[in-house]
Amino acid sequence: MHVLMLQISFSLSKILLVREDLSPDLKEIKDIIKKVKTAEQFAEFMGVQPDRFDFYLAQKAALSHYTQGVAEFSRMYEDLDRVAVTMYRCSWCGNPSALLRKCRGCSKARYCDVGCQKSHWRDNHKKVCKSSSSG
């Protein structure tokens, strides 16, 4: 009996963690949840209490909080989608990066590397940088 409950709990937990197509109300696995509850009731009737091991408790917590958790994380993802996160881009090649180096002259231009900095300097930045730093 104990092994059966462990196997059922493990299977249910694996489904909760792996399947991405589960609806918030878990309708796709209602039959499995019902079988778990039936096994628990049968064990209780037989006088066998399931061990309260961490895995079992984690599975029970996942089931009881799944719907609320899905709703909360869905809102969080929607909020992240609405907020436009812009990264700095290299002033020469346009590549986005969080690790760009600022121009020491004006601190406005940013570059991936020395090659982009030199190319931009020769092309146009020399004039812009000198006028912005002197005025």
Asked if 92 contacts 111 with a C-beta cutoff of 8 angstroms, the reply is yes
Q: 0.85 exceeded by the pTM? A: no
pLDDT one-digit tens code per residue, 20-52: 777 888 888 788 888 878 887 888 888 877 666
Q: Note the pLDDT of residue 94.
A: 92
The H or E element containing residue 7 is: helix 2-18
Nearest to 128 by CA among 112, 108, 110: 108
DSSP letter assigned to residue 28: G
Q: Note the pLDDT of residue 59.
A: 75
What is the C-alpha to C-alpha distance for residues 9 and 54, in angstroms, rounded to an integer?
11
Q: How confident is the model at residue 63 (pLDDT cuts 50, 70, 90)?
A: confident
Q: Name the most confidently modeled range: 1-15, 24-38, 59-73, 100-114.
A: 100-114
Asked if 67 contacts 24 with a C-beta cutoff of 8 angstroms, the reply is yes
Higher pLDDT, 1 or 82: 82
Q: Note the pLDDT of residue 130.
A: 75
Domain ranges of the chain: 2-82, 87-135
- Tell me: pLDDT of 122 over 80: yes
Q: Note the pLDDT of residue 4.
A: 63
SS3 89: strand
Asked if 41 contacts 33 with a C-beta cutoff of 8 angstroms, the reply is no
Nearest to 63 by CA among 9, 4, 7: 9
Q: What percent of the chain has pLDDT over 90?
A: 21
Asked if 133 contacts 106 with a C-beta cutoff of 8 angstroms, the reply is yes
